[in-house]
Amino acid sequence: MNLSELQTDFQNILLDAKCRNADWVAEPQQNLSSQQRLTIYHNAYRIRLIDTLYDTFEHTANYLGGEWFDKLAASYVQNFPSSHANLGQYGKGFSEHLAQQLPNDLEVAELAHMDWTLRRAFDGADATALTQQDLQQLVATGAEFSHFQPVPTLSLSTQQFNTLDIWHAINQEKVPPIAERLAQPVTILMWRKGHSPHFRSLSAIETTAINYLRQGQGLEAIGEALNQDYPETDIVAEFGGMIARWLDDELLTR
């Protein structure tokens, strides 16, 4: 057996649901058998990945409790092997897995999606945020606004349940409220400000504006589009307030 074949067989032993023996592992004269020694690696692989899921999906684990989270995490690990050298990237599909496993408790998947997105915002790409002073200088020089864009850590998520209330309760170490479907879905903005992940809910008009921004439209074009979409709204005041908040939240970059 050459090295490549040995590595492939060892990986297959780790990934199989049940640990099997291998004839290339020498049988000791005493202590643990060859299969028992392989089982140590078989279990350690799963424990390490489950620990990674606990770390990334902290609020979800607290909400479900250890027993339930262990079972769901173990089934995810068995069905979705690690494929990235960076353990921080493991768990990308965990929220979808929870939605499939718990179709009657979809707030769990929403909670997991928040966990994942905020963690990815924390270690996301850096960008120089636009400040109020930067904008004033650009206005003074008559510069075009078409090149503005959201920071790379910005993400939008639609929630159908009172997941934000559940999140806040867990954060404050309180008993989470009973999950309830919202009368209207709410859009959640998630991003990193400075060195910390942030999130907040958005109004319908701000959701529309940020979607235009993500499509690459400049501020002037967004204002014109909002005038068309919301003819009954004072867009000058509304959009002016949005831009001020975007600058304060460090959402814009060049």
The residue out of 55, 88, 123 marking a domain boundary is 123
Is the pLDDT reported for residue 21 higher than 70? Answer: no
Give the chain's end-to-end CA distance (angstroms, integer): 56
Same domain, 218 and 140: yes
What's the whole-number average pLDDT of the chain?
Answer: 89
Q: How many domains does the chain have?
A: 2
Same domain, 205 and 119: no
- Asked if 235 contacts 225 with a C-beta cutoff of 8 angstroms, the reply is no
Same domain, 155 and 221: yes
Same domain, 139 and 239: yes
Same domain, 223 and 149: yes
What tokens appear for 97 in the block? 């897995």
Distance CA 66, CA 52 (A): 14
The residue out of 123, 157, 174 marking a domain boundary is 123
Range of the domain at 91: 1-123
Same domain, 197 and 92: no
DSSP 89: G
Amino acid at 108: V
Reported as a single tens digit per residue, the pLDDT across 127-145 is: 999 988 888 887 777 666 5
Helix (H) or strand (E) holding 28: none
What is this structure's pTM?
Answer: 0.86
Reported as a single tens digit per residue, the pLDDT across 87-113 is: 889 999 999 999 999 999 999 999 999
DSSP 176: P
Residue among 151, 154, 138, 156 at smallest CA distance from 220: 138
The residue out of 55, 89, 123 marking a domain boundary is 123
